[in-house]
Structure 1
């Protein structure tokens, strides 16, 4: 499994609008592509003092490299363009890919 991680520093002026957009539109539409088995939105704690706004990590879990590559090819350009159109320079984002080697669960 691969986690496609998008970290976003959100300007306070668009924070509520961005979070609502993510919950109501973006995440449901990305789940509808069938390329990810789960998506987590997590808030980075203690980061507000660096830029005055909140930082979030959105973790999209793909079951295979092929599914992630299909997402990049078939869906990512439109989603990125929409994010840029709606929020412009009010969000600073960077993306990383993480390969899950092993998960350990509490018993």
Structure 2
């Protein structure tokens, strides 16, 4: 199993709108690609030096090949949606995690 983690710091002025869009549009659109089994959205509780509110969205997929397929077939389009909807209002970084064990 792999987890595609997207951590985003969103400007407080658009946080509620962004959160609604993430829950109702973006996360369902990512899941609709068929490349992820599920998604979990978490609010980061540690205060950042920068302003804004930080969230982490974790998308679970079965293997590395499926994640690569997401990058080549879907990621650009879905990232552009966010950039056009919330220009200059957020910063995101992405990490890939390999699940080593579950208990």
**TM-score when scaled to structure 2?**
0.95
Stretches of 4+ aligned residues off by more than 2 angstroms: 49-52
In the TM superposition, residue 46 of structure 1 has moved relative to its aligned partner by: 3.0
Distance 2:10 2:72 in 1: 26
Larger Rg: 1
Q: Which residue of 1 aligns with 2:17?
A: 17
In the TM superposition, residue 50 of structure 1 has moved relative to its aligned partner by: 2.4
- 2:46 aligns to what SS in structure 1? coil
Describe the superposition over 1:50-107 as per-residue Cα deviations: whole angstroms up to 9, x where unpaired. 2232100010111111111111011000001111111111101111101000011xxx
* Contiguous gaps of at least 5 residues in structure 2: none
Q: How does 1:11-90 map to 2 (within 5 A)?
A: 11-47=11-47, 50-90=49-89
* Contiguous gaps of at least 5 residues in structure 1: none
Q: How many residues align?
A: 103
**TM-score when scaled to structure 1?**
0.91
RMSD: 1.0
